[in-house]
Amino acid sequence: MLLDALRRRPIGELTVEDMRLLISQDIGLPYLLSLALEVLRDNPMAEGHMYEGDLLSAVLTRNPAVWTEFPELGRELRAIVSKLTGLPPNAQQRAERLPAQ
């Protein structure tokens, strides 16, 4: 029910939590990934309602095929992640699989 309501919400009104939920369900990725990267550029550890960095985690845990489809977004995400230290090992491994600069 919540996801249906979020799908109808104008994209400009989505919160970090809304993006996290939709991205984690692979909904609207062509639009939401670029919007999420705008947020992550300014605050890589932006959080919804789960924990610090939950938006980054949602983006990083998408199927690797997404980054084949959107390599420029993958490169941008890799650049954002490359500036971070102390990522959990799983997140670091996923980041290393992103397209190279």
pLDDT tens series, the chain, 101 aa: 677 888 888 888 999 999 999 999 999 999 999 999 999 999 998 888 888 889 999 999 998 889 889 999 998 998 998 888 887 788 888 888 777 75
- How far is residue 83 from each of residues 2, 3, 34, 88, 100, measured CA to CA in Å? 34, 32, 19, 14, 14
Neighbours of 55 (CB within 10 A): 25
Per-residue confidence (pLDDT) for residue 26, from 0 to 100: 93
* Tokens coding 48: 């919804």
Per-residue confidence (pLDDT) for residue 48, from 0 to 100: 85
Question: By C-alpha distance, which of 27, 78, 20, 10 is closest to 52?
Answer: 20
Q: Give this prediction's pTM.
A: 0.86
Per-residue confidence (pLDDT) for residue 27, from 0 to 100: 93
